[in-house]
Structure 1
Amino acid sequence: MTLLSGWRRGSHSADGFEYPTYTEGEGPGVIVMHESPGLTPEVVRFGREVVDAGFTVVMPHFFGPAHRAPYALEAVHVVPRLCIGREFTTVATGRTTPVAAWLRSLARRVHGEAGGVGVGAVGMCFTGGFALAMMLEPVVVAPVLAQPAVPVPLTSRRAADVGLDPGDLVAVRDRVRAGCPVLGVRYRDDWATGTRFDTLTDHLGEGFLRVELEGPG
């Protein structure tokens, strides 16, 4: 028995990428995207909580180990994968991550299978901003950004960047104005989020629901 026992293992292919997926539950769909270094026990347990709340949860597995904590060497080996993988944007500014198109395709599939008014998307840390990029797909109706950390805030410009092409940011703003709010959650002293919550507040106004918790995270 593992934490993923009972989850249905599948895969999804689109836009030149293919990743394993794990699905469980019934009800409207929620795509839960794991953080670095992988699909850890904490992420799987969170997915189970969302299932228990009455949703169909789909967890893509992008990198690293699944359902267990990584060994130290595994965690280190994930870093170059994130930096040089063509599907991810780690340090560039003003660019939407290439894997966003794959995620939007997955959202359409999940909505077709699970039904409901739309699909939720939860991104965490490295994948935090992915939920924002998924908003270009109309079936994504509940985006959640948990401590979005990309691009890595090595400079003030990168710290403020939300990981979107300028045109995509306009499209996100239009969706927010049309009634699709964005929820952002971070720890107040978390350095990795940089100042991008301020950027989102400037662009999205009251449509960006900003939650800041005490502590470093």
Structure 2
Amino acid sequence: MVHRPDERDDDLADLERRVLTTDGIETVVHVGGRGPAVLVLPEMPGISPDVARFARWVRDGGFAVWLPSLFGVDGAYPTTELGEPIIRRACVSREFRAFAGGGTSPVVDRLRALARVAHDECGGPGVGAVGMCFTGNFALTMLVEPAVVAAVVNHPSLPLDDPGGLELSEADATAVRDRVERDDLDVIGYRFDTDRWCTHARFAAYEALLGSRFDGRVLPGAVANPDPPPFFRDVVGTPHSVVTAHLVDEEGHPTVQARDEIIAYLRRRLLP
């Protein structure tokens, strides 16, 4: 796959590109801002301009944002031509568990290690994690790491073949449930009510696992941006990405309110 630069690409020039090694594995991370760290995990097909925009909103909310590169072309505008092969590779990658029965994706170990590094560097009571789409549930399973004290699961889509499933092992499910009770944590999540990739059954599974400590918030699909980038229009094909591709950047819009609620949640957990 060769990426042809598009005038709508984001060069990420205002973020520092770092290469960090954890457990012998290198990860490119784009970092900016000051304050407690928040890991913003990219959605398919990568760190799009909309994902970078959300990361900047988090940064400007008073945090050091850490944006790890997990797949795709960093900063690329998400076209169908770019995105389809990225999905296919991710679904067969040993780092990800895209289908039911696979348990927790191995990449989460790397993200937990990054959270430890971020906490050591940035201080504060802990680290926040915001997952989206393919990485949505990763934010939840990162709570096994003691440094992570806030988790946002945005429109989690895995496992792709089980609308009511959760992408985590039984051991991690037990560990997360015990951790949120022991340390008095809460988890928030967002989806559109007409989303075919993140359904009511998915949020019901979170509620069954976490009880009242999961706050699943649902927006009408009718308010989603009707003109998202081509990948989301042609491949995703449904209202899905609440605070990125399907956000409508207008004051008072429900998707902007969701963005503000996420930042307020992070401030409550990380800036007491």
With the shorter chain as reference, the TM-score category is: over 0.9
**Among candidates 17, 28, 39, match of residue 36 of structure 2:** 28
Gaps of 5+ in 1: none
**Among 173, 182, 193, which residue is 1:169 paired with?**
173
Kindly indicate whether the alpha-carbon contact (under 8 Å) linking 1:64 and 1:70 is maintained by their aligned counterparts in 2.
no
The answer to whether the 8 Å contact 1:94/1:166 transfers is: no
* Alpha-carbon offset, residue 66 of structure 1: 1.3
Tell me what 2:269 maps to.
Answer: none
Letter aligned with residue 172 of structure 2: D
- 2:130 & 2:148 partners in 1: Cα distance? 11
Paired positions, count: 213
Cross-structure match for 1:206: 212
Among 111, 114, 131, the residue aligned to 1:106: 114
Identity, in percent, stands at: 42
Match of 1:121 in 2: 129
Distance 1:189 1:16, change over 3 A: farther
Higher strand share: 1
> How high is the TM-score relative to the length of structure 2?
0.75
Name the CA distance, whole Å, in 1 between partners of 2:75 and 2:53: 9
> Residues 29-62 of structure 1, C-alpha deviation per residue, up to 9 Å, x if partnerless?
0000010011000000001101111100000011
Shift of residue 183 of structure 1? Answer: 0.8
Residue 94 of structure 1, CA deviation: 5.5
2:164 and 2:205 in contact (8 A); partners too: yes
Q: Is the 8 A contact 1:14 1:102 kept in 2?
A: yes
**Once the 2 structures are TM-superposed, how far is the Cα of residue 14 of structure 1 from its aligned partner?**
2.8
Q: Runs in 1 of length 4+ with deviation above 4 angstroms? A: none
Pairing of 1:80-95 with structure 2 (within 5 A): 80-93=88-101, 95=103
- Secondary structure of 2:44's match? coil
Task: Give the partner amino acid of 1:22.
Answer: H
Instruction: Note closer, same or farther for the CA distance 1:82–1:17 as it changes in structure 2 (3 Å cut).
Output: same
Counterpart among 181, 192, 215 of residue 187 in structure 1: 192
Cross-structure match for 2:12: 4
TM-score by length of 1: 0.93
- Give matches, 1:15-164, under 5 Å: 15=23, 17-93=25-101, 95-152=103-160, 154=161, 158-164=162-168
Aligned mates of 2:79, 2:194 — CA distance in 1: 27
In structure 2, the gaps of 5 or more residues are 1-8, 222-238, 241-272
